[in-house]
Amino acid sequence: MIPVGINKRLSNNQKIPLMKISPIPQLALLFLGFLTLATSTPVEAETPIVQYLMESADPEPVNAVPGIEATSLRAGQLQPLVTGFSKPNNNAFFLLNNSERGAQPLAESKEAALEGYDYFEFTVSPSATQPLNLTGLSLSVGHEGGRTLAIHLFVVADIAGKTHTSDFLFGSLSSYEAIEANSNAAVLPVTAKADLRALPRNIKQDVTFRIYAYYEFLAGTPIPPGYSNSIRIGKISLIGEAVARP
Q: Where are the domains of the chain?
A: 4-39, 47-242
* Mean of the per-residue pLDDT values of the chain: 80
**pLDDT grade for 183, boundaries at 50, 70 and 90:** low
CA-CA distance, 117 to 78, in Å (whole number)?
9
Q: What local confidence, expressed as pLDDT, does residue 19 receive?
A: 38
Give percent above pLDDT 70 in the chain.
79
CA-CA distance, 107 to 162, in Å (whole number)?
24
Fold of 47-242: Jelly Rolls (2.60.120)
pLDDT at 35 over 50: no
pLDDT at 116 over 80: yes
Q: What local confidence, expressed as pLDDT, does residue 246 receive?
A: 63
Does pTM top 0.85 for this prediction? no
SS3 content of the chain, % helix, strand, coil (to 5): 15, 40, 45
Q: What local confidence, expressed as pLDDT, does residue 180 receive?
A: 81
Q: What local confidence, expressed as pLDDT, does residue 18 receive?
A: 36
* Tens-place pLDDT, residues 42-66: 334 578 999 999 877 779 999 999 9
CA-CA distance, 240 to 39, in Å (whole number)?
21
* Tens-place pLDDT, residues 59-111: 999 999 999 999 999 999 777 888 888 876 788 999 998 888 888 889 999 99
Region 203-214 average pLDDT: 97
